[in-house]
Amino acid sequence: MIRLRRAVLAPGTTELLRSYTDDIRQRATHEERKARAKALWENRRQVRPALLAGLAEMAPGHERCMYCGDSQGTDIDHFEPKSLAPLLTFDWLNHLLACSSCNSIQKGNRFPLAADGSPLLVDPTAEDPLDHLRLVLPVGTYRGLTDRGQACIEVFGLNTRSVLVKGRMDAYLMAQGSIELWRTAMDRGQRDKATEIVRVAWNHPLIDVLVAMFHQSGHPAADALFVGEEETLDLLRDSELRTAFLHYRGLSY
């Protein structure tokens, strides 16, 4: 998971979403609101293309899932499930792009809460997942830095889905290769090639690996985090390289 910026919908779409919410709000009980929300969502043809387009614009890589970062995002996920919060069914701030595995198999209606009633899952459009999760780069697994980070690991199977773990390990090698190629291209004066290397690197699946590399290279314990990978750490600390890669995504790690 990486930090994402919420796109702005067209006024017409926003107004239509508001009208659906007003319709649901008119129902007297939670069960009536839930039933009405379900019925309206099943006939969402008027807003679905605009919602998917907005989510695709926000998503990492080429429309990757906002939870696992690996598979193509095909589903409009309700961060807070519509069965629990029917009034948020058409709330743009409650919509995320997810793959069918994360949305239907892993998450479903699961929405764990802390003792104070606040959500334990992390919304990547509202806060930085790196405050709650740390990727152990060489082995491709996550560590929960907080209860919320641990909840994300468990709900989305971030460490138990072997395809994700193996994919992150390969993504780490690919990212190392990308920054090495960028440095070589720049040293040879091939600026256009270097720019293309940056673009392609950020459009790979599992770009949470590349984000984690830059984030951890600036950590006070970076030397320990990259033990045995000193050449990679030196490249990640290269100010020219950091500027080229991070500015492309609007990051400032």
Q: What percent of the chain has pLDDT over 90?
A: 96
Contacts of 178 (CB under 8 A, 6+ apart): 197, 198, 200, 201, 210
DSSP 204: S
At 177-203, the pLDDT tens digits run 999 999 999 999 999 999 999 999 999
What's the pLDDT tens digit per position in 104-115? 999 999 999 999
- Percent of the chain, pLDDT > 70? 100
The pLDDT score that the predictor gives to residue 250 is 85
- Map residue 14 onto helix, strand or coil: helix
Give pLDDT, residue 184: 97
pLDDT tops 80 at residue 252: no
β partners of residue 133: 144
Q: Residue type for 119, please?
A: P
Which residue in the block uniquely carries the two structure tokens 């392609």? 200
